[in-house]
Amino acid sequence: AIEVQLPLTDRPVNLVEQGFDLQLRFGELPDSRLTARLLAHNKRVLCASPDYLLRAGKPKSPRDLIQHSCLFIRENEETYGSWHFHNGSRVETIKVRGPLASNDGECVLGWALDGHGILMRSLWEATPLLRSGKLQRVLSSWNLPPADIYAVFPSRTHLTVKTRVLVDFLIASFEPHRLSKDGAW
């Protein structure tokens, strides 16, 4: 008996000022005053179409990405064009470039499938395309920062019953994805 209104945005939302009961957020939490519950681990990977990799070559290190067309999903207030990598104790931040960017992930995914460049995508979403061969992993020995999925709400002590029920439902529904640390769905 919960009524849902679902505004979608990649801009920061002030839950209290804008009157939201709950926010689903990917990535780091910007405000420590809010209460957050981890719903799912969300590993990200780099991938590109076989056609693009045949034409441009497969990068062997993060620094090689400077010579590639990288496709961007502009989300939140992330630093545009900076991709962060780690491999054991090695850490690299690379300022990559590319001809195409959008705040719509489906659009950017379409560009990658059409052979326009390399994109960063959640493993759970890329897995079927990787299995089918429509996309190939790039730099698979390097890890990217995760974009874990959280339910965020203003205060645990003043949580309405409807919000508490929804949070409990989401936590139960996402449990297998929370237990899987590798982000595979």
Please check the confidence at residue 76 and state whether its pLDDT lies above 60.
no
What residue ranges in 3-105 does DSSP mark as E strands? 23-26, 35-40, 44-48, 70-73, 82-87, 90-95, 101-102
- Strands 82-87 and 149-153, sheet pairing: unpaired
Instruction: Give me the pLDDT at residue 136, please.
Output: 97
Is residue 185 pLDDT above 70, yes or no? no
User: How many whole angstroms from its chain centre is CA 120?
Assistant: 8
User: Three-state SS for 22?
Assistant: coil
The label of the residue with tokens 């999925």 reads 149
Contact 29, 150 (CB under 8 A): yes
The percent helix, strand, coil of the chain (3-state, each to 5) is 30, 25, 45
pLDDT tens-digit map of 149-173: 898 887 666 778 888 888 899 999 9
pLDDT given for residue 75 in this prediction = 64
Note the pLDDT of residue 135.
98
Q: What percent of the chain has pLDDT over 90?
A: 42
How do residues 92-126 score in pLDDT, each as one tens digit? 999 988 889 888 889 999 999 999 999 999 888 89
Place of tokens 């207030």: 77
Tell me the whole-structure pTM to 2 decimals.
0.79
> Quick one: average pLDDT of 65-86?
81
pLDDT at site 16: 74
Give me the pLDDT at residue 1, please: 66
Given a cut of 70, whether residue 30 has pLDDT beyond it is no
Q: How far apart are CA 107 and CA 48, in angstroms?
A: 14
Rounded Cα distance between 67 and 10, Å, is 28
Largest distance between two CA atoms of the chain = 56
Q: How far is CA 18 from CA 21, 34, 51, in A?
A: 9, 14, 45
Task: Please list the residues that pair with 23 across neighbouring strands.
Answer: 152
